[in-house]
Amino acid sequence: NAGVMQNPRHLVRRRGQEARLRCSPMKGHSHVYWYRQLPEEGLKFMVYLQKENIIDESGMPKERFSAEFPKEGPSILRIQQVVRGDSAAYFCASSPSGKGVLELFFGEGSRLTVL
């Protein structure tokens, strides 16, 4: 049973380019979460999605960032016109459905470097 799969593991972009990060949840999990972790900082919640729906995007910057979880295929976190401050590790996590079930299983992360 494969775990949470993220790709790419490492991504280098120049300022102004777009970054697309993909996440396939664990089999049977219908909830996907994106977190950002900066060096020496904690995990910061960005967005929570279920299939085809954004449930909570309170942690997403209002501009340049978007997320989706289509009916078919992985969840995608998209960052447009990247800036140096976007350099971070972006972790995706998934959890099974069920009220109150909050145990998260993380992917290995995508490390974005903006030059």
Stretch that binds other proteins, among 21-29, 67-75, 76-84, 87-95 (CB under 8 A): 87-95
Instruction: Tell which one of 23, 34, 36, 48 touches other proteins (CB under 8 A).
Output: 48
* Interaction of residue 104 with other proteins, rule CB under 8 A: yes
CB of 81 to other proteins, least distance (A): 27
The residue (of 58 and 72) whose beta carbon lies closer to other proteins is: 58
CB of 28 to other proteins, least distance (A): 16
Cα separation, 100 vs 83, in Å, equals 37
